[in-house]
Structures are given as structure tokens and as C-alpha cells.
Chains A and B, each alone.
Chain A
């Protein structure tokens, strides 16, 4: 009788502890990166003709290499071919007056690449920075590089950083910084050292 009572009490205590464990666990895994993204942190990027025709080769080049050498699991190389699902970089025009850049992830569905959510598993993503809005704010070279670095940060699955993070290239807005300590830590948290 006593043994049965002890087992039952242990079961009740275990179940009661589950919500508490779930709360602790959810706070530990909560971070500024997506659950989705590419299967691996090393991949190639293709520069669409809009990058050079608008004069942004240098900006994207610096932005892309800004993310290399932080984690041994993350390297974004450059490719001159679109085969093999590289990411694609663009320079475009937008009708949204305060939009500086965006990324659109794509997944394979029924043999076709379709727009995906940041929390899906992607095949590749496109990063676009907007020439008309950047010029309207008279953004400097370093600010444009920072904008492109921000967008490429999303392509390696980094989300926007919280206001409590301190300096971070993954905050929204016009900045002129590269990956900061916070960003590098988040990148390593996502992909490994």
C-alpha cells in the first residue's frame, strides 16, 4: 500500500514539474535567430545584374564577407552561377517609403520554388536592398554596407535583435556597423562555434 502511494506521488510530482520545466526551457532556447533557414550555414551567393548596374558590388561584397570567420560552420561564398541553389542578391526599387531591404526565403514545393516563412526549412533566399529609398535618405557607403550586412544576417537565419541586446547590426533602421559581439554570439548559438 505504501509503495503504491510513493509511486503515485512521484508521478504527480513529475507531471506537476513539467510546466515549470517547459517555462525554463522556452526561456533558454528563446534567441534572436529563426528556427528555420538553410540546412547548413555554408553556402554560396549569386549577385544579380542589378547589383553591378546600380553600383553596389563593393557594398554587397563587404557585407557578405562580414559574416565569414565568425563561426567555423558559417561561410558565405560568391558564385557566378545560379545552379545549386545559391542565395541571390539584388538591388531594387520599392513603393514603401521607409523600406530599406528585405529577404524572401524560398522552399521547394511540388517541384517549384515558392515563398516560405522564416521558420520553414529553405532551399535558398533572396536579399534585396532598395536603391530608391537608400538614396532618398542619402545613406553613406558604410550605412549601405550595414543595411546589406543586416539583410545577409537574415539569410544566415538571424532575426532582429531585441532592444535589450545592446549594439547589433540586426537592429532595424539606418546604421553604419558590422556584426557586433551580440550578433556573433547569436550566429554561433545558431550554427555552432
Chain B
């Protein structure tokens, strides 16, 4: 009996250790996944203006919509710019979204036939001859077909860009994929802010 208990303890301890080691290994990679091809992803650090609640997002945004990305990420238009010495200056992706509702901003956007093109702060680049997704602060792109509340502000060129990164777009799906795949801390922040946003706009 004692032998069985000791063996059981040994197996349980070994299994727990294996799970923890595996968790640490996978935790060192980008944890949230996307609906695009499983190419390599590099996330760099960036300093953004950030917002903590729905009121701040609403106040700062120029345009708030319920919209849906109409293409897979691979089909969208990546943009990168460089300094005169070839160093990367900026990168982003032009994403087309169909608009279902305008919560704040010019209502005529709803009347336009063509999708609205917005900027997301990540892009595919060719790094080491491999198509690589370069992103900032682990930002994950809008999933194709995932209707979401999206907060946008015009850049200095008059184009709309997502604000607050992963916490500036909130899926209307009952179980948002981002919430399932993001790490615990980010998933918790997302859930809280999503609830706040949905309450503010009566989307519950």
C-alpha cells in the first residue's frame, strides 16, 4: 500500500514538473495566436498612449465602429518605411473592415459601399528570407469575420488607426478567441475592459 502511494506521489510530482516546464517554454513565445499562417512572429517593445477604461477610449477616439475585417491577414496590405540608411522606421498593415454600426464619428461612413481601410500596428516583413510577422507589444490582428467594437483615431495623414492595441478592439463573439489564447494577465485586462465597453454602448 505504501509502495503504491509513494509511486503515485512520484508520478504526480513528475507530471506537475513537466507541465510547469512546458508552460514556461511556451510562455516565452508569443502566447496569443492568430488566424493567419503559423509564420514566425517577433514582438518588439513600443511606447503607446494607452487608455484604461471605456470613457477614456470614447473620449479619445475619433471613430468608434462595430466592424469586421473582410480579409485574412495574408491578403492585407503591409506597409514599411525606412530611414535613408536602410533602418526600419515604421511598419503597419492596411486592413479593410466592413462597418455595421457607427457608435461615434461621421455617420456617412456607414453609407459608403467600399470597406473602410484602417491601420493595425503590425506587418509581415521579410526577415532572414522568411515571411515574419513583426508586431508591437504582442498586438494580434483583427480576425477575419470577427465582428468587433473598434476604437480608431486619425493619424497625422488622415488615416484611421486602431488605438490601445489589443485593448482597443473587442469581439462580439460570446467567447472571444483573443480571450482564450492571450496570456492570463492580458486576458483578464481584456475581459474587464470589454465588459466596460459593452455596458457603455448597451451591447450586453
Contact = CB atoms under 8 A, between A and B. Distances in A.
A92 B20 contact: no
What bracket does the count of chain B residues touching chain A fall in? 35 or more
B180 interface: no
B114 interface: no
Contact of A115 (B16, B42, B121): B42
Interface in A134-149: 135-137, 147
Contacts of A22: 17, 20-21
B87 A90 contact: yes
A97 B163 contact: yes
A159 B45 contact: yes
Contacts of B43: 117-118
A132 interface: yes
Contact of A132 (B12, B13, B42, B156): B156
Secondary structure of the A side of the interface? mixed
A115 B134 contact: yes
Interface residues of A, number: 56
Residue of B17, B47, B49, B155 ringed by the most chain A CB atoms within 10 A: B47
Interface of A: 8-9, 11-12, 15-16, 18-19, 22-23, 26, 48-50, 88, 90, 92-105, 109-110, 112, 114-119, 126, 128, 130, 132-133, 135-137, 147, 150-151, 154, 159-160, 172-174
Interface of B: 6, 9-10, 12-14, 16-17, 20-21, 24, 28, 42-50, 79, 81, 83-85, 87-90, 92, 119, 121, 125, 127-128, 132, 134, 136, 153-157, 159, 161, 163-164
